């Protein structure tokens, strides 16, 4: 049974005078432990697909099954809980809470899950150690480099023990050294924690490192290949 | 951590938060201090009225209340005295003879209340003896001495040791003329009182009325502390069912109204200030939410429920408002405390204040219960101010917030 299954997904935006068909009849599945890149030119539907996968947007047609749950039929309140417990998010611009330290940012997700203070502190410290920021726990985002912030974002995404992590162009704002280092770390997490990573990217370095590459064009899957 | 986050969030834009905190602080400080002055004025009016003449409790015959006639005196004074002496909390009482009459000089005449007193007993109730500005308070035993107010003296063009003619009726309705010598002139906080009251020794008044028995129309009582007033009134009213036993609040309802309404006015005053500040707080919080739309969208995306987002914005508004509120109350409390002991000299406006019966030296005060009431009001205002920003924060579509901002 696939971890994620998209059935006949289409998404049309009616916000402009001319409706925009962002996704057209997408049928695709993702298995556990995948390390998959969704690629394609701007406007190809990568972010829309990621939003639909993450339950942040509803498809116009079709169903999204995650861990045997049809999230397209979920009530908004249940969907928030589902996202909290099943999906980890990493955003292009890191988007950490600026007034909290790295440790508090990672802990915050577990606070929402009502994990006890002791447990969440312990878990957050372990995760930050894992992403190589054991000595930066008490720093605020403004005191960290872009690469370090993105590592905190990955640790935050993993803190809720999700079924998979969605990353929207995670290396877009990073220099090549930081990008490589982040990818190493994500790969390690993928192997160490058996964590599924699905990321949208333009970055050739990321595409090269992905084990599966799904190419979108004009809202349709143009190619779905396994990297050798 | 949500509380901690809310507190940290208000300091993201220090300058903006400080401006609104300062506005709340100044608004509250001004409101509280004005309220304390009003309450101090009301307190001064009540205290000076009690000290000047009223006392805490007064006893009259029931008829006297309706018709101030010489014949409506208290028939069994001894029984009243026994009832008073049975109370533990009495500081003193004075038996007074009250006559309506005219005071005349060579220049003019004016309608007055003629009050016959026993010098020693009266000192235990009223503080009129402290208000003598010229002459003395029946210090000699000379016959037909009278003490009048400064305002009446000016009106009738009289001075100390001038002669004054008092005209009043005896028990048979006959007109009595009594020539008196002014031996004391008093000046109280109330120009109306000073103009309409003259004081004589009871013995002189009874002699002129050809009365062997002293006619008592009014017994004024001072209790040891204002808190005993209701108990004393209740006890005396049940012991003396045939007489009218009344507290100062019933005798001077206008004063009681001023005293009780000042607190309400202060609340109203602060409520108006808070209402105006409410728009500032709302605007501040709206700006804070708009600046963070992307972040709030992300928080919702990663699993923060709308109710928690709402609560976080509410907490931020409460922290912002309460910081300003506590500062305002502290600074206001400090100022009130300082001027409560030092006093505010408003002698430049003495004439106006005297017409209200208020002293020109004001001692502002605010009861402790008002600080609690104000805290609740600020919390209430903060909740109202948070509604719009919190509504905006909870009506974000995460994907749109992340994409657009």
Are the C-beta atoms of residues A62 and A72 closer than 8 Å to each other?
A: yes
Residue B69 has a CB neighbour count (10 Å cut-off) of 17
Put simply, the answer to whether B294 touches A98 (Cβ < 8 Å) is no
> Do residues B56 and B229 touch, judged by C-beta distance below 8 A?
yes
What's the pLDDT at B181? 95
Which of A47, A83, A98 is the closest to B302 by Cβ? Answer: A83
Q: Is residue B300 a contact partner of residue B306, using CB atoms and an 8 Å limit?
A: yes
Query: Is A45 an interface residue toward B (CB < 8 Å)?
Result: no
Quick check: B181 and B161 in contact, CB under 8 A?
yes
DSSP for B204-228, please give it: HHHHHTT-SSPP--EEEEEESSGGG
pLDDT at A194 over 60: yes
Mutate to test the interface with A, among B303, B309, B399 (most CBs of A within 10 A): B303
Q: How far is B279 from chain A (nearest CA, A)?
A: 26
User: What pLDDT sits at residue B92?
Assistant: 95
Judged by CB atoms closer than 8 Å, whether chains meet at A89 and B295 is answered as: no
DSSP B103-147: EE-SS-EEEEEEEEE-HHHHHTT--GGGGEEEE-SS-S--SSEEE
Q: Decide if A141 contacts A152 (C-beta within 8 A).
A: yes
The whole-model pTM stands at: 0.76
Give ∠ CA A218-A222-A224 in degrees, rounded to 5. 140
- In this complex, the residue of B8, B306, B399 whose CB is nearest that of residue A51 is B399
Residues of chain B with pLDDT under 70: 355-357, 403-405
Report the chain B residue with the minimal C-alpha distance to residue A52.
B399
A85-127 pLDDT, tens digit each: 999 988 887 788 888 999 999 999 999 999 999 999 999 998 8
Q: Do B308 and A56 touch (CB under 8 A)?
A: no
Is B12 in Cβ contact with A100 (below 8 Å)? no
Residues B291-332 have pLDDT tens digits of: 888 888 888 888 888 889 999 999 999 999 999 999 999 999
Q: Look at A56 and B402 and tell me if their CB atoms are within 8 Å.
A: yes
Residue numbers in B near A111 (CB within 8 A): 1-2
Q: Which residues contact B391 (CB under 8 A, 6 or more apart)?
A: none
Query: What is the nearest CA distance from B15 to chain A, expressed in angstroms?
Result: 16
At A30 the pLDDT is: 93
The pLDDT, as a whole number, for residue B404 is: 61
Interchain proximity B2–A111, CB inside 8 Å: yes
The residue count for chain A: 228
The minimum CA-CA distance between A228 and chain B, rounded to whole Å, is 33
- Residue A125 tokens read as 């410290």
Interface residue of B10, B301, B309, B395 to substitute, partner A, most A CBs within 10 Å: B301
Contacts of residue A143, defined as CB under 8 A and 6 or more positions apart, other chains included, come to A136
Shortest Cα–Cα distance, A76 to chain B (Å): 10
Question: What is the b/e burial string over B301-312, where b = at least 16 CB atoms within 10 angstroms of the residue's CB?
Answer: bbbbbbebbbbb
**Residue A155, token pair as written in the block:** 């640790």
Query: Model ipTM?
Result: 0.85
Q: Å from A184 to nearest chain B CA?
A: 24
Among B1, B301, B308, the residue with its CB nearest the CB of A89 is B301
Look at B302 and A57 and tell me if their CB atoms are within 8 Å: no
The Cα B271–Cα B274 span in angstroms is 5
Higher pLDDT, B356 or A196: A196
Q: What is the tens place of the pLDDT at every residue in A129-156?
A: 888 888 999 999 999 988 899 889 988 9
* pLDDT value, residue A192: 83
Q: Do A104 and B1 count as a contact with CB atoms less than 8 A apart?
A: yes
Of the candidates A56, A107, A113, the beta carbon closest to that of B301 is on A56
Residue A112: list chain B partners with CB under 8 A: 302-305, 308
A56 near B CB under 8 A: yes
A12-55 residue pLDDT tens: 988 777 888 889 999 999 999 999 999 998 888 888 899 999 98
Tell me how close the Cα of B380 comes to any Cα of chain A, in angstroms: 27
- Whether A119 and chain B come into contact, CB under 8 Å, resolves to no
C-beta atoms of B295 and A51 within 8 A: no
Give the closest-approach CA distance of A55 to chain B in angstroms.
Answer: 8
């Amino acid at each position: 049974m696939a971890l994620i299954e998209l059935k006949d997904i289409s998404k049309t935006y009616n916000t402009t005078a001319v409706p925009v068909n962002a996704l057209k009849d997408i049928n695709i599945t993702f298995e556990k432990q995948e390390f998959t890149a969704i690629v394609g030119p701007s406007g190809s539907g990568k972010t829309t697909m990621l939003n639909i996968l993450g339950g942040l947007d509803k498809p116009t047609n079709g169903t999204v099954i995650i861990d045997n749950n049809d999230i397209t039929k979920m009530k908004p309140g249940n969907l928030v809980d589902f996202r909290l417990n099943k999906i980890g998010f990493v955003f292009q611009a890191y988007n950490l809470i600026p007034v909290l330290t790295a440790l508090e940012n990672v802990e915050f997700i577990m606070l929402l899950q009502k994990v006890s203070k002791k447990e969440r502190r312990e878990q957050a410290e372990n995760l930050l150690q894992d992403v190589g920021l054991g000595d930066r726990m008490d720093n605020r985002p403004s005191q960290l480099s872009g690469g370090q912030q993105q590592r905190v974002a990955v640790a935050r995404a993993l803190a809720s023990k999700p079924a998979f992590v969605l990353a929207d162009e995670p290396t877009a704002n990073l220099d090549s050294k930081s990008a490589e280092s982040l990818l190493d770390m994500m790969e390690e997490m993928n192997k160490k924690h058996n964590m599924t990573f699905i990321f949208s990217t333009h970055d050739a370095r990321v595409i090269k490192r992905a084990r599966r590459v799904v190419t979108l064009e004009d809202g349709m899957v143009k190619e779905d290949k396994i990297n050798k | 951590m949500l509380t901690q986050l809310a507190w940290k969030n208000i300091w993201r834009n220090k300058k903006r938060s400080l401006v609104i905190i300062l506005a709340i602080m100044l608004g509250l400080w001004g409101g509280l201090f004005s309220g304390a002055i009003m309450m101090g004025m009301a307190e001064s009016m009540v205290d000076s009225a009690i000290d000047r003449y009223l006392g805490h409790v007064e006893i009259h015959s029931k008829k006297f209340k309706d018709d101030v006639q010489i014949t409506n005196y208290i028939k069994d004074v001894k029984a009243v005295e026994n009832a008073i002496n049975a109370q533990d909390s009495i500081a003193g009482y004075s038996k007074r003879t009250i006559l309506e009459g005219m005071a005349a000089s060579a220049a003019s005449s004016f309608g007055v209340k003629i009050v016959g007193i026993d010098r020693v007993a009266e000192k235990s109730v009223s503080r009129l003896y402290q208000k003598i500005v010229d002459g003395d308070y029946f210090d000699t035993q000379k016959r037909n001495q009278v003490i009048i107010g400064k305002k009446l003296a000016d009106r009738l063009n009289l001075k100390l040791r001038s002669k004054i003619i008092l005209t009043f009726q005896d028990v048979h309705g006959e007109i009595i003329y009594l020539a008196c010598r002014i031996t004391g002139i008093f000046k109280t906080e109330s120009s109306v009182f000073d103009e309409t009251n003259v004081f004589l020794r009871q013995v002189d008044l009874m002699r002129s009325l050809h009365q062997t028995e002293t006619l008592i129309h009014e017994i004024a009582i001072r209790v040891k502390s204002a808190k005993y007033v209701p108990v004393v009134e209740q006890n005396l009213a049940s012991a003396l069912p045939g007489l009218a036993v009344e507290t100062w609040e019933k005798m001077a309802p206008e004063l009681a109204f001023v005293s009780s309404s000042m607190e309400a006015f202060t609340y109203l005053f602060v409520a108006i200030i808070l209402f105006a500040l409410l728009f500032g707080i709302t605007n501040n919080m709206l700006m804070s939410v708009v600046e963070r739309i992307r972040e709030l969208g992300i928080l919702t995306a990663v699993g923060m429920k709308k109710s928690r987002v709402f609560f976080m914005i509410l907490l931020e508004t409460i922290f912002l408002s309460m910081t300003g509120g506590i500062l305002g109350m502290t600074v206001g409390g400090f100022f009130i405390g300082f001027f409560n002991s030092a006093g505010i000299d408003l002698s430049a406006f003495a004439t106006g204040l005297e017409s209200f019966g208020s002293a020109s030296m004001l001692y502002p005060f605010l009861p402790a219960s008002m600080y609690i009431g104000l805290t609740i009001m600020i919390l209430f205002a903060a909740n109202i101010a948070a509604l719009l920003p919190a509504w905006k924060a909870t009506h974000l579509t995460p994907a749109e917030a992340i994409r657009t901002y």
